[in-house]
Each structure stands twice: as C-alpha cells, then as structure tokens.
Amino acid sequence: MEVKDRFTNRVDNYVKYRPQYPVEVYNYLREQNFISADAKIADVGCGTGISSKMFLENAHVVYGVEPNKNMLDAAANYFGGDKNFIAMQTSAEATGLADASVDFVVCAQTFHWVDKEKTKAEFKRILKPGGKVALLWNDRRTDTTDFLKVYEDFLQMFGTDYKEVNHKNTQEKEIFGKFFGGTFTEKNFDNFQLLDFEGLKGRVLSSSYMPDASHPDYEFMIYCLRKIFNRYQSNDKVSIDYDTKLYIGELK
C-alpha cells in the first residue's frame, strides 16, 4: 500500500478521535515571532485539518497540502467552505505552490512519511526569505502510567507494522540537524485526551498500523482492548497523555 493510501479507510475515526494541538502551540509561535499575524501557511500533510485549525482560527490563509483525497475532502468539509482554507491534493515533495509564496510551513504528524531531501528542496522553494518550517507531533507517552504501559504493549502486540512506521523513528537530533542544515528550536507542551471506550476504540482504529474490521485479529483485538479499558478506567474514562513536540527553524 502506498503511503498516501494508508489512511483512506481511517478518515472517520481520524476526524473524531485524533488529539488536537494545545492552544499554547500557536501562542508560542506568535510570541516568539516565528509567524506574523498575516503569515500565509502551508500545512503539508494536513490530513483532516487538525493542524490547519489553529491557523484558520487566527485568520491565516492556509494551503492544505494532502495527497489522500478522502482526508483532504474531510478537511474541506470540516472547515465548511472557509475561503482561507485552500485544499491542494498534492505531496510534500511537489506541493504545486509557487516559488516564495508562503511565510511558514508546518508538518504535523507527517515528517516521518516524506522523502527528506526532496521535501527540504521543495520547502526552500516555496518559502519566502526568512520563512520557517515547523515539525510538530503529538507524541504519545508510553510509560508514565500503568494504563499507558499496557496500552503500548497492546499496540505492539496487534500492530501490523507499528515499529516500522512509528514516528519516533525520525525524532532524532541528527535527522533534524541535517534537515534544517544547522540549529533549530525545540519546545514541548503537555497534552492529553480523556476517552470513553468508544473513543479509545476509535483512537486505535485511526492508526494505519492497526487491524481494521476486515482483519482476522480484529475481534480478539477489540476484546483485549475492552479488558484493558475496564481495568484502568476511572469514571468510565482513560487518559492518553502526550508530549506535543515542536521543532522549528530555517532551512539552510
């Protein structure tokens, strides 16, 4: 399966159950002058629009670049025809944007899917002089609570290619240093989701590496998930905790 098709049958769960980004992320970008009030944004790998949302809510023009039509359609529907959201069914390596046309590029939950060298060249082409690139992840904590430890074991047990596509594989300083061509700024933010069982199930099924309903392991996987939820729930909820990680700089 091509990378761009991995989430085609995950769109509904992705829209409903993927975590948002904390408002502190946008506030930090403005306070540190990484973006101006009128900055034009390229949200590359925008998916269903979770990362675009914080920029649109602050009146930025956002070019939503996404190769998967189903996900891009979900983003366009979510934003209800907002004239500031310009949907572009293209890739990180060939966005279709004009030279020096945007002030800021964000890759949220996306960088681990792209060709790093081709993407860097494309970002340098579309950015105005002095423009910044932000790599952003909601990085799930795996060992800070008993539930999160067991949940990580569950994902490793049932995930079809979890270890291979885990975004943590690309969160190494050497990779970032090579991509930015020098120094970059790193900032972490706290984030979490409180989920009932249906929310937890939807969160699991939003991940491309987890079996869907057509897989022979599906029923047993859901049975095990229910057992885990029942053991660790409090007031019929469990908490998935994240470090929202931001890496930002100019491309050299």
Architecture of the 3-141+166-194+241-249 domain: 3-Layer(aba) Sandwich (3.40)
> What pLDDT shows up at residue 227?
98
Find out whether 11 and 32 touch, Cβ atoms under 8 Å.
no
Sheet holding 41-44, edge to edge: 85-88, 62-65, 41-44, 102-108, 127-140, 238-249, 185-195
> What pLDDT shows up at residue 197?
98
In our burial notation (b when 16+ CB lie closer than 10 A, e otherwise), range 123-157 reads bbebbeeebbbbbbbbbbbeeeeebbeebeebbee
Cα–Cα nearest to 23, from 58, 47, 49: 58
Task: Tell me whether residue 252 is exposed, middle or buried, using C-beta atoms within 10 angstroms of its C-beta: 0 to 12, 13 to 18, 19 or more.
Answer: exposed
Cα–Cα nearest to 25, from 176, 239, 245, 240: 245
> What pLDDT shows up at residue 164?
63
Strand pairing category for 127-140 and 62-65: unpaired
> What pLDDT shows up at residue 168?
55
> What pLDDT shows up at residue 1?
41
Q: Kindly list the domain boundaries of the chain, sorted by start residue.
A: 3-141+166-194+241-249
Q: What share of residues in the chain are helix, strand, coil (percent, to 5)?
A: 40, 25, 35
Q: What are phi and psi of 23, to 5 degrees?
A: -60, -25
pLDDT by position in tens, the chain (length 252): 444 444 555 688 888 999 999 999 999 999 999 999 999 999 999 999 999 999 999 999 999 999 999 999 999 999 988 999 999 999 999 999 999 999 999 999 999 889 999 999 999 999 999 999 999 999 999 999 999 999 999 999 999 876 665 555 556 778 999 999 989 999 999 999 999 999 999 999 998 889 999 999 999 999 999 999 999 999 999 999 999 999 999 999
pTM: 0.88
Residue at token pair 């973006």: 35
Cα–Cα nearest to 116, from 54, 46, 172: 172
> What pLDDT shows up at residue 5?
45
Cα–Cα nearest to 158, from 125, 199, 112, 204: 204
Cβ contacts of 117 within 8 Å, gap of 6 or more: none
Cα–Cα nearest to 147, from 230, 32, 73: 230
> What pLDDT shows up at residue 161?
77
Task: Tell me whether residue 161 is exposed, middle or buried, using C-beta atoms within 10 angstroms of its C-beta: 0 to 12, 13 to 18, 19 or more.
Answer: exposed
Residue 133 CA to residue 248 CA, distance in Å, equals: 6
* 3 state SS of 181: coil
